[in-house]
Chain A
Amino acid sequence: MSDAPQFSGQLSTRGSGMSFSLPNLGRFRGLMNAGLGIALLLAAWWVGGWVVQNSDDLYAFADFAPAPTLSRLWQMIGDGEVIAMSGPSLGRVGMGLVYAIAIGVPVGIMIGRMKRLNEVTNVPFQFLRMISPLSWMPIAVMAFDSWDGAIVFLISMAAIWPILFSTAGGVRRIDPAWLKVARNLGANPLHMLFSVILPAIAVDILSGIRLALGVAWVVLVPAEYLGVTSGLGYAINDARDTLEYDRLAATVVVIGVIGFALDALAGQLIRKFNWVRSDGH
């Protein structure tokens, strides 16, 4: 083997003899590539900030740049503002997800198991799914006697569909032989549900929850523009109104970081409950 560096891939310009390649970093490749992506994002942000700062028209928004934003973020972490603004938002997303799971999983199992029910519900559910959750905002405001209730409703409306359809799809993919064997071994409907169906579709449910979490987190901020005086959406609105653009940008960073962390957590859960072994026979 030569001492020349190994290459994981190569981009070459035909005929010109030019080539571009990334070094093979072995087991650190994923980590290094993630670091590279973050560095590129920060660079783009820095360039944008520099342009804004040097523009006579946009100078007022210079606090959106990385340096003032990260400085303000550090301050907000230190004085507990990040926790204060994130807590209510996480609570609302959590409640919305609980309702979406409580409705989406049982209904998904039923439409996955019952062909007739699936046929009956398919058109109405697809119709409702395509309506932006925020379209329900006026109805939610009228229907609920608290802002929190309305926001949780909007989040539930956004989160229920990925969970419901993913669950139904998982049930339809269950090996019929598993159900037949369980029946043959004396399983009652509860055994069938808890020992066969739910373990078999656990990954589908969690994948649905992961998608739902993403949608719910996206819907959260505009939903929190509704009357409430807490949460990340309110914080953004408030920062805009008080012209604290560094605080606004820091809140955006917090939203992104929490969203990323929640998604990573859901990914971990999926890996934990995924029973498919790639090294199986």
Chain B
Amino acid sequence: MSLDKTERFVQFDNFNPEREEMSVTRMKDQTPSPTPHNGAAPRVLSGAHVAVKGLSHSYRKADGHVLENIDFEIHQGEVIALLGRSGCGKSTLLHMLAGLTHPSEGEVVINGNVIEHPSPKWVMMFQAPSLYPWMSVAQNAGLGLKFTRRSHEIGKRVPEVLELVDLAAFATRNAQELSGGQQQRVALARSLAPRPEMLLLDEPFSALDAFTRRALQQDVRKIAKDLGLTLVIVSHDVGEAVRMADRVLVLQANPGRIAEDIEIPLSDEDRSGGSEAFSREHARLMSIYSRVADQDDAPVENDFTQL
């Protein structure tokens, strides 16, 4: 994926008529990104600001809370990883950020608005690409625009996003003819086409081979940073969290709650892995993650005594 492609994409993104006013204002005053972490400053300030306030959730009252007293904030353009073992409620939390599930208590506020419904402004990518197999790659990529009554943009926008994910040559191919990694790239293009403010990734690379996974991790972070998107990724892979996230929220289970909030102060060069800084951050996060996981294994009543 070349930088030229992303630059062209960003230029195109600035001409979005729906955001014309916002984009022009920001281009004029050249305000730097409020992103407080080490990622490159976004050139388009389109990321969502998220505030999660007093969020608790239970599927059935008798079963107790799956999530309890969750409070955190995500800044515009920030990349956050929700790290935790299976069953700690991280995917449930992500669904709530997407508006696909309503919390039993508390609220999710995005850009000042309480979230009650899903919106193409915050798009979720799942573990499986879930492409529609009766459609071509281009039709899949343009679906969000069609659903939001912006079909007139499909002709220009879809080639842009497909080029961004290196699949321009596959536009007319059936989605089933692609490899797993390519399908996940189409899912990424589909998510980017409606110009979201936030991408929510629910372990989207876990079914891919190591090389494809690493390439996509780097590409997705780069695209998010270049476009200024807020990115939230759910993972149980410490390496993935270090490679992608500016900040990691480590979740503890029974009930799910945030045990640690850790910044990952790495440059983009160091995130590719192999550097001493990467190894140090990986070891640090692994140590914290293991400690939190050990507490998960302890009886539930012991967990409450620690609060």
The minimal Cβ–Cβ distance linking B125 to chain A, given in whole angstroms, is 9
Task: Give the residue of B130, B132, B147, B176 whose beta carbon is less than 8 angstroms from that of A280.
Answer: B176
Interface residue A186 (Cβ < 8 Å from any Cβ of B):
yes
Inside 8 A of B119's CB, which chain A residues have their CB?
Answer: 186
Interface residues of B in 135-177 (CB under 8 A from A): 135, 143-144, 146-148, 174, 176-177
CB of A22 within 8 Å of the partner chain: no
| Contact across chains for B126 and A177 when beta carbons are under 8 A apart | yes
- Which residues of A have CB within 8 Å of B174? 275, 277, 280
The residue that A281 contacts in the complex, of B120, B128, B178, with Cβ under 8 A, is: B178
Q: Which residues of B contact A177 (CB under 8 A)?
A: 126, 128, 130
The answer to whether residues A182 and B147 also contact, given A199-B134, A275-B134 and a CB cut-off of 8 A, is yes
Known: A178-B130, A183-B100. A277 touches B177 (CB 8 A): yes
B194 touches A185 (CB 8 A): yes
User: Which A residues form the contact surface with B (CB < 8 A)?
Assistant: 175, 177-178, 180-188, 191, 195-196, 199-200, 202, 275-277, 279-281
**B221 CB to nearest A CB, Å:** 21
Other 4 A-B pairs with CB < 8 A, given A177-B128, A195-B143, A281-B176? A175-B130, A199-B135, A280-B133, A281-B178
Residue of A186, A202, A275, A281 near B148 (CB, 8 A) is A186
Q: Which of A178, A180, A186 contacts B144 (CB 8 A)?
A: A186
B180 touches A (CB below 8 Å):
yes
- Nearest 9 pairs between A and B by C-beta? A280-B176, A275-B134, A177-B130, A185-B144, A186-B120, A186-B147, A277-B176, A187-B147, A186-B148
Find out whether the CB atom of B177 lies under 8 angstroms from the CB atom of A281.
Answer: yes
Closest chain A residue to B179 by CB distance? A281
B118 touches A186 (CB 8 A): yes
User: What string of 1s and 0s marks CB contacts (under 8 Å) between B172-207 and chain A?
Assistant: 001011111001000000100010000000000000
Is B118 in contact with A183, judged by CB distance below 8 angstroms? yes
Residues of A within 8 A of B100 (CB): 180, 183-184
Docked CA distance A280–B174 (Å): 9
Contact: B143 with A185, CB < 8 Å? yes
Question: With A186-B118, A187-B147 given, is the CB distance from A200 to B134 under 8 Å?
Answer: yes
Q: Which residue of B lies closest to A280 (CB)?
A: B176
A-B contact count (CB 8 A): 74
B194 touches A186 (CB 8 A): yes
Q: Are A185 and B123 in contact (CB under 8 A)?
A: yes
Given A277-B177, A279-B177, A185 and B120 contact (CB-CB distance below 8 Å)? yes
Given contacts A191-B146, A199-B132, whether A281 and B194 have CB atoms under 8 Å apart is no
Sample of 18 A–B contacts (CB below 8 Å): A177-B126, A177-B130, A180-B124, A181-B124, A182-B147, A184-B123, A185-B120, A186-B148, A187-B147, A195-B132, A195-B143, A199-B135, A200-B132, A275-B134, A276-B176, A281-B177, A281-B179, A281-B183
- Given A181-B126, A186-B118 in contact, is the A277-B147 Cβ separation under 8 Å? no
Bitwise interface map of B from 90 to 127 toward A, beta carbon under 8 Å scored 1, else 0: 00000000101000000000000000001110011010
Q: Distance in Å from the Cβ of B99 to the closest Cβ of chain A?
A: 8
Mask of B237-276 contacts with A, CB within 8 angstroms, 1/0: 0000000000000000000000000000000000000000
Complex CA gap A191/B150 in Å reads: 13
Q: Smallest distance from the beta carbon of A281 to chain B beta carbons, Å? A: 5
B54-81 interface bits toward A, Cβ cutoff 8 Å, 1 = contact, 0 = none: 0000000000000000000000000000
**Given A195-B146, A277-B176, A281-B180, A184–B124 Cβ distance below 8 Å?**
yes
**Among A177, A200, A276: residue with most chain B CB under 10 A:** A177
Q: Which listed residue, B134, B147, B190, B194, touches A191 by the CB 8 Å rule?
A: B147
